[in-house]
Amino acid sequence: MPETPRAQLIHIDVGRRLGHEWDEWDGQPLPNRGNYDSSPSLFFAWSAFALLVGLGLLAAALYLFAPRLADLHPALPRLLGRALGVAASALWLWWGVLFLSYASGRALLPERLAERGPFLRLMRLTSRVADRFGRRDWVENASVKVYNALALVRGRKVGTGELLLLIPRCLSKETLDGVLGIAGKYGVPVFVATRGQLARRVIRERRPRAVVAVACERDMVSGLHDVAGKIPVLGLTMTLPSGPCKDALLNLRQLEDWVKAYVV
């Protein structure tokens, strides 16, 4: 029985280092051995809270500056208040449709109004708010799951040579062997991102039509924010039993399912 071909592994070493999101790590074991698996509902709860915080800060700022704005024009505070109310109503309507799109498994919004548009900014805002309460990694895990669900419902297909697999340098040897086996099986090129700006450089030079990316929650959310608006991406997060940036593990079956989901 012929062996499954292994993919070519290509390293590039330029730009911001991977793992910069963990600069504050104190070397102690991570909670739950680096497994931040969370329900997608956690993202919707925290994103609603993040929107309340953001809109509340804007309303407070408008209230505080109302006297000075009135000096410019007596009607200005009232007009800005109404504009904020309209914007808040539109934002909550969008959030509700986004939730229904996820819950129903249907594309109720075009991708530029969902996972490749405002959702990326909401994901980043929610991450920052959750970080203040020490829940960043769990919330980011949930947000990536919601992002993937919204992206998968599009049913996008690309040719074998049009898909790119981006992985970090910190995978365990066994996991790396599994990744290369899957990539070789489907003829997908694999690039190891030893530095953070690598992903953008590789995408710019290779010009793939879709990407499957592997990273921890922190680097994944940062990378999706930078890249997903330009090209379709599916993101697979890892577990970190040995701490960040060392001997990371991932769900190889999920990886293969996503490669198959894209490749014709």
Encode pLDDT of 197-251 as tens digits.
Answer: 666 777 888 889 999 999 999 989 988 988 898 899 999 999 999 988 889 999 9
Q: Are residues 202 and 120 in the same domain?
A: no
174 within a domain of the structure (yes/no): yes
Q: Are residues 171 and 73 in the same domain?
A: no
Between 118-132 and 41-72, two packed helices, what is the crossing angle to 10 degrees? 90
- What confidence score (pLDDT) does residue 13 get? 47
- How many structural domains comprise the chain? 2
4 within a domain of the structure (yes/no): no
Q: What percent of the chain stands above pLDDT 70?
A: 89
210 within a domain of the structure (yes/no): yes
CATH number at 249 reads: 3.40.50
Q: Are residues 50 and 98 in the same domain?
A: yes
176 in Cβ contact with 184 (< 8 Å): no
Q: Are residues 50 and 116 in the same domain?
A: yes
Q: Are residues 226 and 213 in the same domain?
A: yes
- Predicted structure pTM score: 0.89
Q: pLDDT: is 56 or 196 the higher one? A: 56
3 within a domain of the structure (yes/no): no
Residues 6-32 have a mean pLDDT of 64
Cα–Cα–Cα angle for 243, 246, 252, nearest 5°? Answer: 100
2 within a domain of the structure (yes/no): no
Q: Are residues 47 and 137 in the same domain?
A: yes
pLDDT-derived band of residue 8, with 50, 70 and 90 as boundaries?
Answer: low
Q: pLDDT: is 5 or 204 the higher one? A: 204
> Of the residues 91, 111, 146, which one is the last residue of a structural domain?
146
Residues 177-195 have a mean pLDDT of 88
Comparing CA positions, the residue from 6, 39, 41, 18 lying closest to residue 199 is 18
- What confidence score (pLDDT) does residue 46 get? 98
Q: Are residues 156 and 255 in the same domain?
A: yes
pLDDT-derived band of residue 161, with 50, 70 and 90 as boundaries?
Answer: confident
Instruction: Give the domain extent around 158.
Output: 9-38+149-262
243 within a domain of the structure (yes/no): yes
> Of the residues 100, 122, 146, which one is the last residue of a structural domain?
146
> Of the residues 112, 146, 180, which one is the last residue of a structural domain?
146
